[in-house]
């Protein structure tokens, strides 16, 4: 098979894994990589390159970083296929329809379930036991295009977003490489999504991480697993935001929202039991392991009620 000429759209770590698979494959000639602009990070607002840009530079690929694609003029030589993975910007229909074989997206759910911006996080948050990867053709709708292939992925009990994202990236990369030649050779017929089974997931914001201690231990633990590292899970103490960076379920019965410090450990009560907290970060302070936090704040923190 002659090499398929492609343009790749992607930004984040998941997309980096997909791009690496395309680079390593003998099937593709990558004509251009389009990724989001460098973003200011931290208090000093230092510009940071996306993981995809770093990888593309390493392999000397042509890179473009438009702020938006709304009025973007994409100069295409003879690209036959566009591939998208966690790009993060809206791609207009006029761009999607440019290549001969259309535009393929790697979506991290079993479509039509969890269309939208946070499918991995939403699956974990909702306590799902499995999710999956969908290779699909893109159209003008949000994740509404026809499906080329899918693969189910189990969600382990203690997997966080980062764990699952990394695992799914490897699975998605291989599924994409297996699917494209069959699609190009017309061995796969795109399947329309079942409109009756559609569910959606939202774009996350910081408030999604606010803990409601009146929920069960499993619900809060799922929230932690889903929203770590961003937006992170947090509560308030003395009118300050307190991020809970690492936690595990506990079977200790403690009053809902109450802090209990026992034998150098911190527990916080839920509606049915408690969570053991291993790492915390008080607003304006660096992150602290539990022993350090207890040394500095333990006397005031113990036996308080969190809301």
Q: Which residues 6+ apart lie within 8 Å of 239 measured at CB?
A: none
Grade residue 1 by pLDDT with cuts at 50, 70 and 90.
low
CA atoms of 83 and 81, how far apart (whole Å)? 7
Give the residues across from 6 on adjacent strands: 30, 81
The domain in which residue 79 lies consists of: 4-201
What pLDDT score does 147 carry? 98
- pLDDT single digits (tens) 283-299: 999 999 999 999 999 99
Same domain, 63 and 163: yes
Q: Which residues 6+ apart lie within 8 Å of 29 measured at CB?
A: 3, 4, 5, 6
- pLDDT single digits (tens) 205-261: 999 999 999 999 999 999 999 999 999 999 999 999 999 999 999 999 999 999 999
Instruction: Extract the tokens encoding 24.
Output: 């390593």
Domain annotation covers residue 306: no
What pLDDT score does 307 carry? 80
Domain annotation covers residue 307: no
- Return the CATH number at 233: 3.10.25.10
User: Are 122 and 201 a contacting pair, CB within 8 Å?
Assistant: yes
Asked if residue 42 has pLDDT above 80, the reply is no
Count of C-beta atoms within a 10 Å radius of residue 100: 11
CA atoms of 17 and 172, how far apart (whole Å)? 9
- Mean pLDDT taken over the chain: 96
CA atoms of 31 and 56, how far apart (whole Å)? 11
Last residue of a domain, one of 173, 201, 229: 201
Same domain, 32 and 180: yes
Asked if residue 112 has pLDDT above 90, the reply is yes
What pLDDT score does 80 carry? 95
User: Are 220 and 245 a contacting pair, CB within 8 Å?
Assistant: no
CA atoms of 91 and 77, how far apart (whole Å)? 19
- Choice among 30-44, 97-111, 208-222, 252-266 with the minimum mean pLDDT: 30-44
Same domain, 68 and 131: yes
Give the residues across from 133 on adjacent strands: 151
Asked if residue 30 has pLDDT above 90, the reply is yes
Asked if residue 165 has pLDDT above 80, the reply is yes
Last residue of a domain, one of 164, 180, 201: 201
Burial of 91 (0-12, 13-18, 19+ CB in 10 A): buried
Same domain, 108 and 186: yes
Handedness of CA 6, 18, 95, 68 (dihedral sign): negative
Same domain, 151 and 281: no
Half-sphere exposure in the Cβ direction for 218 (13 Å, CA): 4
What pLDDT score does 75 carry? 80
Same domain, 212 and 181: no
Number of domain units in the chain: 2
- pLDDT single digits (tens) 189-199: 999 999 999 99
- Predicted structure pTM score: 0.94
% of the chain with per-residue pLDDT over 90: 94
CA atoms of 280 and 263, how far apart (whole Å)? 17
Asked if residue 116 has pLDDT above 90, the reply is yes
Asked if residue 303 has pLDDT above 80, the reply is yes
Nearest Cα neighbor of 69 from 7, 137, 23 is: 7
């Amino acid at each position: 098979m002659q090499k398929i000429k492609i343009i790749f759209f992607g930004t984040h770590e998941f997309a980096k894994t997909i791009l690496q698979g395309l680079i390593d494959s003998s099937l593709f000639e990558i004509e251009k990589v389009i990724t989001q602009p460098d973003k200011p990070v931290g208090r000093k607002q230092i510009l940071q390159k996306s993981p995809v840009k770093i990888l593309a530079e390493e392999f000397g690929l042509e890179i473009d970083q438009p702020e938006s694609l709304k009025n973007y003029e994409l100069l295409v030589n003879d690209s036959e296929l566009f591939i998208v993975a966690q790009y993060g910007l809206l791609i207009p229909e006029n761009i999607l329809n440019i290549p001969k074989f259309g535009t393929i997206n790697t979506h991290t759910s079993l479509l039509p379930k969890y269309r939208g911006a946070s499918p991995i996080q939403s699956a974990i948050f909702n306590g799902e036991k499995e999710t999956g990867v969908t290779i699909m053709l893109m159209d003008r709708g949000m994740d509404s295009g026809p499906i080329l292939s899918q693969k189910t992925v189990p969600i382990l009990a203690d997997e966080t977003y980062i764990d699952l994202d990394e695992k799914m990236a490897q699975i998605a990369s291989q599924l994409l490489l297996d699917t494209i030649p069959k699609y190009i050779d017309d061995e796969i017929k795109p399947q329309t999504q079942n409109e009756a089974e559609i569910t959606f997931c939202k774009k996350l914001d910081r408030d999604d991480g606010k803990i409601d201690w009146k929920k069960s231990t499993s619900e809060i633990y799922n929230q932690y697993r889903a929203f770590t590292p961003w937006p992170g899970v947090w509560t308030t103490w003395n009118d300050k935001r307190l991020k809970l960076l690492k936690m595990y379920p506990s079977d200790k019965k403690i009053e809902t929202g109450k802090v209990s410090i026992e034998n150098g450990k911190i527990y916080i009560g839920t509606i049915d039991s408690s969570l053991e907290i291993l790492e915390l970060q008080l607003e304006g302070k660096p992150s602290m392991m539990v022993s350090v936090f207890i040394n500095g704040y333990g006397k005031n923190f113990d036996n308080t009620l969190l809301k």
